[in-house]
Amino acid sequence: MPERAPRWWWPTSVAIAAVLGCAVGGLIVIASQDDEEPTGCPATAVAQDVLPSVVTIEVTEPTGGGGNGTGALVRADGYVLTNEHVIDAAVSGRAAITVRYSDGRTSPATVVGADLTTDLAVIKAEDGADGRPLLPRGDSDGVRVGQPVVALGAPLGLSNTVTAGIVSALGRYVPIPADTGRVAHLLDALQTDAAINPGNSGGPLVDCDGAQVGVNSAISTVPNSEGVGGGGSVGLGFAIPMSIADPIADELIENGRVAHPVLGLAARPVGDDPTRPPTGLAVTAIVPGGPAEQAGLRVGDVITEIDGQAADNTEQLVLVGLRHDAGDTVSVSYLRDGAERSAEVTLAAPS
């Protein structure tokens, strides 16, 4: 029997870029491009400007185990933006966090807030990151395919590593199953061929001006003959765009949590033939007084279309809440007793 895959691998070979092991503080590994190359960033200059704003995040459990990832200083007083999966052990209270700055100095840190659904989190360095520069926020909406970018982080614990590449594609959707059985959702992700490996998670993807356009979060790997993903970067990395990360980070700092709007119902896939794809989502529960009930939906209804998409997966219910704000209206088509119906559901904040 093959060994069970490490927790950062998942069956379709998309891996969150975290790593178990110790960070190597102070080691600088820079893979820079030729400054005279017109299609690339001046990576040496970008590294010098950005590295002081990047931290290696070390997570240590009482048993001695742990892991590391990366983060970026995004607000004064030591607030660091990273991935939820980097610090999930600390969220549950079973681990301690230390941030290691680019000059090798360290500080204990605490969790400010985390959102598994979008795989984003904010931690705070206890020393306030005094005198250290914040990473400028870039315009991820203005990013174009083919644009050069630079990734910074601590792959395999090697702090202050810099790699360069281009934006390979825009608008990717990457679901990432977590150990708990829940799924994190990378929405409208930036795909890049800049080398991203375990330990890069939470680190910044920046443009040629050194402004952060994304949060490096996942890689796709080539499965072996047994279908298990493994190895490092094959040039398929994914970063959460700052257009999504910015407001979530702000909400985590202000409230400690993110209140994603809800439809007020639960459902399960249904199908006439178990060997064929589902033909809709059967409503199994309705929140009394919630958006779905107010729109007229009932238990037993079969949703056939939601928000303009054919309904065949319960994750679509989560995505509706991620792509909209409370107060937005979502179109739902459904069957009741064989008759086609439609409704406009106004999303609400969770109670």
Q: Which stretch of DSSP H or E encloses residue 49?
A: helix 43-50
3-state secondary structure 203-267: CEEECCCCCEEEEEEEEECCCCCCCCCCCCCCCCEEEEEHHHHHHHHHHHHHHCCCCCCECCEEE
What pLDDT score was predicted for residue 182?
Answer: 78
pLDDT digits (tens, 9 = 90+) for 75-99: 999 999 999 999 999 988 889 999 9
Residues classed as catalytic: 85, 119, 201
The answer to whether 169 and 181 have CB atoms below 8 angstroms apart is no
320-340 pLDDT tens trace: 999 999 999 999 999 999 899
Segment 168-179 shows an average pLDDT of 87
Query: Residue 122: helix, strand or coil by DSSP?
Result: strand
According to DSSP, residue 140 is labeled G
Taking the CA atoms of residue 162, residue 106, residue 78 and residue 156 in that order, the dihedral angle to the nearest 10 degrees is 30
Confidence of residue 235 (pLDDT cuts 50, 70, 90): confident
Q: What token pair was written down for 114?
A: 């985390």
Indicate the average pLDDT of the chain. 85
More confident residue, 268 or 7: 268
Mean pLDDT score, 102-120 = 95
Range in 131-145, 177-191, 206-220, 267-281 with the lowest mean pLDDT:
267-281
Chain segment 202-214, per-residue pLDDT in tens: 999 999 999 999 9
Q: Do domains 14-255 and 265-346 have the same CATH topology?
A: no
CATH of segment(s) 14-255? 2.40.10.120
Class of CATH domain 265-346: mainly beta
Give the mean pLDDT of 112-141.
Answer: 96
Task: Categorize the per-residue pLDDT at 233 as very low, low, confident or very high, splitting at 50, 70 and 90.
Answer: low
Question: What are the tokens at 287?
Answer: 């929140």
129 phi, psi to nearest 5 deg: 50, 45
Domain coordinates of the chain in residue numbers? Answer: 14-255, 265-346
Prediction pTM value: 0.81
Question: pLDDT band at residue 351, thresholds of 50, 70 and 90?
Answer: confident
Most confident segment among 132-141, 151-160, 263-272: 132-141
Model pLDDT, residue 274: 62
Mean pLDDT, to the nearest integer, of 7-36? 40
